[in-house]
Structure 1
Amino acid sequence: MAGVGAWLPPRVVTNDDLARHLDTSDEWIRSRTGIARRHLVDPGTATAILATEAGVMALKSAGCGDVDSVIVATTTPERLCPATAPQVAARLGLAGIAAHDVSAVCTGFLYGLATAAGQIATGVAERVLLIGAEAFSTIINPADRETAVIFGDGAGAVVLRAGAADEPGAVGPCVLGSDGDLSDLIMVPAGGSGQRASGLAAHPDDYYFQMRGRDVYRHAVERTTEAAGAALERAGWRAEDVDRLVPHQANARICAAIAERLGIPPERQASNIERVGNTAAASIPLLLTEDSARGRLVRGDRVLLAAFGGGLTWGAATLTWPELGTVASNMPGLGDQPVGVG
């Protein structure tokens, strides 16, 4: 890992804002999710714009102007066809290089991380720009309080380069899994070939994201804990060796339950869900950028990444934190600054 960057849309929506048109309250949302506010896109701003902005920031942090491959992990592509990544590469002035999307919902960044590592290990690329980007509010039913209060929009990105396994920044083992038999727990029912091939008209609500929250909670905690434990074992680490747990920001209670099962104390857990909500595939790189800028991640730190998403999918990975000269973002209170200043 050679650089990190993040970009959030400027519009902030608080719990009180949502309570004006939903049967909810700030207390209800905070107690169940840990979320106080989230950033949402304005009309005309979609995933490619978010991804491009985060990509610019990550390239700036890495001190490089080009890469050999762009991977965009997203649940909200600009269109069903083609992928969003080639459009992002062109916007970045990188037309002609390899570019593709990864679709694993909230686990998308970790699936993309494994893909990028594979491209580098096999010589397909020397440098890869990996972006997690979501305009999740575009697939959320604004009248559904179960989902409308959870998700936010944003993008985070990292630059990965070829290097040695024993140097700071090295990505360790990636553990990935899935269970398609439970695909209906997290889904958008309509719009794909399954619904279209049925010959049946879809209900308007079926074009929105749907989630069975109670079932998801149990699977998220169990599967993520298992994957994180397996990643630690493959890396030869113990829980007490982890300097920072960086979990996908699904829900504050889910994150706390995973950390407790792993035996990682609260002071070593990264969290920003209160300020940005659940940003799906953008969650982990946003958190890495913020923690690095605030000096909570320093050179040589042992970091454990973990996520769970639709598919069902889940994953975990280890890495040692690199020495970064600059962290670039538009996140409130951060901006572009030397690492450790916050």
Structure 2
Amino acid sequence: MVFCSFPAFITLRSNMLFQVSLGSKELFHSNFLAWLFDSYKSLAHELFLPFMDGSFEFLSEGSFVDREKGNTDLRLNYVNNRHVVIENKVKSMPYKEQLEKYAKNTGKDHCYILLSLIKPEFIDASQSYQGENGTWQYLSYGELASRLQSLSGKYKTTIEKKDLHYLEDYIEFIAALDAFAKCLKINFKEDPFDFYGGTIYLEESYNEPYLRTQDLRMHDLFLKTKYLQIRDYLETKCKEIFPNAFNTNMQAHTGFSNGSANLTVFYQVAKGIQVGMQLQSNHFRMYAQVSGNSKKALAFTTQLNEQNLWFDFTGGATHHNPASIKGKGRIIPGFNSYSGVFIYKYVKLEGYTVAQLMDEFTGNLQLILKRLPKIEKVVYAL
């Protein structure tokens, strides 16, 4: 379990720029860096200089910044038609496919920087991602804070006093944000699955054993980051176990609704027809879905249940007591539903590590594949 330093929370709670950023976390940081480049070009150029090769010609009067150009967050334009493209991720995790698209749209002969609060798994030992359309170099918020701290001292006499205060507050803010982010890294083998409480555990030297992310209005970031890590971990396992099925019929997606993150993993038996699982809060659901047809969804669910093809919660790492399986029974006795087309049962999760929960998913996916011929017969009969 990762323990966190209490001062990071105190800093964030009292930092004015952090409070201002809460409305749009990623836009705030991109806009701040754009302001810095516009106002103090030499400082900003030196900030990103380690990521550039020698072909970038910097002239104060000829360089300018673009926001949201070609879907990228920030683009620093240099006089010889070279660009420093910065993709910024605070509330979400970066995807390789997204980075490839941005680099393809811009061209290979540019500098690509991935500024991300959470370091994605695909960043290699050289702190970069070698893509087909360009190399993305990783910059953490902790390193950004360190570099800005050094440069603010160097350029102190050229920065207006009020702007220096803003910059110092921003450095303090992102250093604390980086410390907060380090608390979000999951130890899959040891960490209990209790993310729905938004709990951050503190170092033993503090009187309080934990804080809740709601206190910082960072609960959405906490949950999204946890669930994205879970999805990435599960995708890696599924690609190993089901190399021919995953990303075709078998898929995993994360979402966020009603203040709660969710993970949905399913096998698409036919167009619009799914058998799957969903994790939300402390509920683990097994579901069947027939998109746009509640009558067929009811028939499909009924047959899966009657033929013991799904909803028995026996395929995972832990077999659940039948008495713990829940459903309100408004459409089918013992089942819940959304809009009549997503019909499910669920159990409440207690005492799982995150790795055990992932075994629960993969075990049930193996069960789907084992029973797939019979499930397909049910579909054909609808």
After TM superposition, the score normalised by the length of structure 1 is 0.24
After TM superposition, the score normalised by the length of structure 2 is 0.23
Whichever of the two has the greater Rg, that structure is 2
